Amino acid sequence: MALRTADARAPKRTGGTRDRTHWLYIAVIVAVVAGAVLGLAAPAAGVALKPLGTAFVALIKMMIAPVIFCTIVLGIGSIAKAATVGKVGGLALAYFLVMSTFALAIGLVVGNLIHPGEGLHAAGQTATYEVEGGGESMTDFLVGIIPVTMLASLTGESILQTLFVALLVGFGLQAMGSSGKPILDGVAHVQRLVFKILMMIMWAAPVGAFGAIAGVVGETGFRAIAALGTLMLAFYLTCVLFIVVVLGTVLRVVAGVNIFRLMKYLAREYLLIFSTSSSESALPRLIAKMEHLGVSKPVVGVTVPTGYSFNLDGTAIYLTMSALFVASALDNPLSVGEQISLLVFMIVASKGAAGVTGAGLATLAGGLQSHRPDLVDGVGIIVGIDRFMSEARALTNFTGNAVATILIGTWVKEIDGERVQRVLHGGQPFDEASLAGDGHGDEGADGADDESADVGPAPRELEPTGAR
C-alpha cells in the first residue's frame, strides 16, 4: 500500500504569524545597526551594555539541554519509522548522513582557510572562567559522560551527558516498538513546549543583539564590524557554492537535471522562505511541487518529511563556521582534535536543530558547551548576525531537500524523467491555485491516471519531526 504524503492543501500559517516574525527580523536589524553606531560613537557606553548580550546568551544556554534531548529522542524515533518503509527510507537516511557530514566538513575547511574571527581579540567582551577537568585522562572523560541520574543530565552543565541519556532513551523507545509510541508522543509535546519557550526567548534577540554588538564594537572598534561582515559573506558564498557546485554536480550526474532550472521552478518557495527565514513555511508546497515534478508519492512522502529533520546542509555549514569564528574571536582556537570531535557531535546534535528560529543557535552553544565551555559566552558575539544568516541556512536546507527527493526517486526508479524535463522547461506549469500534486504518483501500471481525481478524504498526514 502506497505511503500517502501530507495534504498539499494543508492550512498554512496565518499571515499574522509571519508578520510577527518579520517584525522580529526588522527589530534585530535595527538593533544591530544601533548597537554598532553606539559602540563606535560611545565605546564606554557600549561596553557598559554588554550584560544585555550576556543575559540573552544565558537564556539560550538554559534551553540547550531540553532542545538537545527532545530532538535526539525524536530523531531516533524518526529513523525507526523511516526505516520501516524499506529501500526508500534506507537510501534517504544514508544520503542525509553523508551529505550533512560533508557540509559540516566544508564549514570546517572554509573556517580554517579564512579565519574570520582572527584579530578580533574579543576575550574581554565575554565572561571567562576556568574549565574544569583540563588535566583529566581519557578514562575520566569517558566515565564523566555517565550522569549520576538520568534526570541529572537535564539539569547539569554537561551536554555530553544529555546526549548520552537522549541516545539511551531514543534507542529504548525504538526497542519498545508500538508500546513506546505514547511516550514518543509525549516527548513530541514536550518538544513543542520547549520550542515555544525558545521562540519567546528569541523575541528578546533585539535587546541581546543590541547589547552584544554595542559591547564588542565598543571593545574592539571597527574590527568587530569587519570580522562579522567577513563571516556573513563567507557563509553566504559557501552556501552558494555548496548548492551550485556540490548539489548541482550530484543532481546533474545522477538525475540529469540542471540545478538552475530546479531553482527557477522553486522560485516562489524561495521568496516565501526568505520572507519568513524558515523552510517549514514551504513544506506543503515542496511536497506538492515534487509530486507535480514527477517523483512518486511514496518517495516524496518519505524523503521530504525525513529530510526536514535530517538533511540540514545549511545548518551544518553554519554550525562549524560559527564555532570556529567564536573560537578565533576569543583567541582560543580549536585544535584539530577538538574540531573533529565537534564535527562528530554536530552530526548527531544537528538533526532537527532547526525546528524553530533559535534552535540552531542553541545547538551551536551546546556544541561549544560540550567541548570548550570557555567559548560558550562568545556566542553572544554572533547573536546580532544570526538572523542575517538564517535565510541562507533555510534556503540551503530547502534546496538540499528538493535535490534529495529527485535523487532518491532516481535511485529507486520512482520518477518520470520525461515529465521532469517537461515541467522544468515550462511545458507543464504547476497549478498555483490548488497547490495540488495532481495525483500522478498514484498511476496504475497501465499509466492511466485513475486516482488523479482523488477528492475523497484527505490522505493521512505525514508530519516532519523537525523543520527549520
Domains by residue range for the chain, with CATH: 15-129+141-441 (1.10.3860)
User: What percentage of the chain's residues is helix, strand, coil (to nearest 5)?
Assistant: 75, 0, 25
How many C-beta atoms lie closer than 10 Å to residue 175's C-beta?
10
The stretches in the chain having pLDDT less than 50 are 1-19, 125-137, 354-356, 436-437, 439-468
pLDDT (0 to 100) of residue 8 = 38
**For cell 575520566, what's the residue?**
140
Residue 238 C-alpha cell reads as 559557501
pTM across the whole model: 0.64
Instruction: List the one residue out of 377, 388, 468 whose CA is nearest residue 28.
Output: 388
pLDDT (0 to 100) of residue 252 = 95
Distant-in-sequence contacts of 284-287, Cβ < 8 A, 24+ apart:
284/6, 284/7, 284/8, 284/9, 284/10, 284/12, 284/435, 285/8, 285/435, 286/398, 286/401, 286/402, 286/405, 287/5, 287/6, 287/8, 287/437
**Three-class secondary structure of residue 224 per DSSP:** helix
Instruction: List the one residue out of 228, 205, 209, 217 whose CA is nearest residue 45.
Output: 217
Cβ atoms 390, 280 nearer than 8 A: no
For residue 249, the Cα-to-chain-centroid distance in whole angstroms is 23
pLDDT (0 to 100) of residue 122 = 60
- The one-letter amino acid code at 454 reads D
Residue-wise over 405-442: b if at least 16 C-beta within 10 A, else e? bbbbbbbbebbbeebbbebbeeebebeeeebbbbbbbb
pLDDT (0 to 100) of residue 20 = 61
Q: Using CA atoms of 101, 107, 113, 118 in order, give the dihedral in degrees to the nearest 10.
A: -130
CA contacts within 13 A on the Cβ side of 320: 32
| Residues whose CB is less than 8 angstroms from the CB of residue 413 and which lie 6 or more positions away in sequence, other chains included | none
C-alpha to C-alpha distance for 467 and 460, rounded to whole angstroms? 19
Residue-wise over 447-457: b if at least 16 C-beta within 10 A, else e? eeeeeeeeeee
Number of helices (H) and strands (E) in the chain: give both, helices first: 20, 0
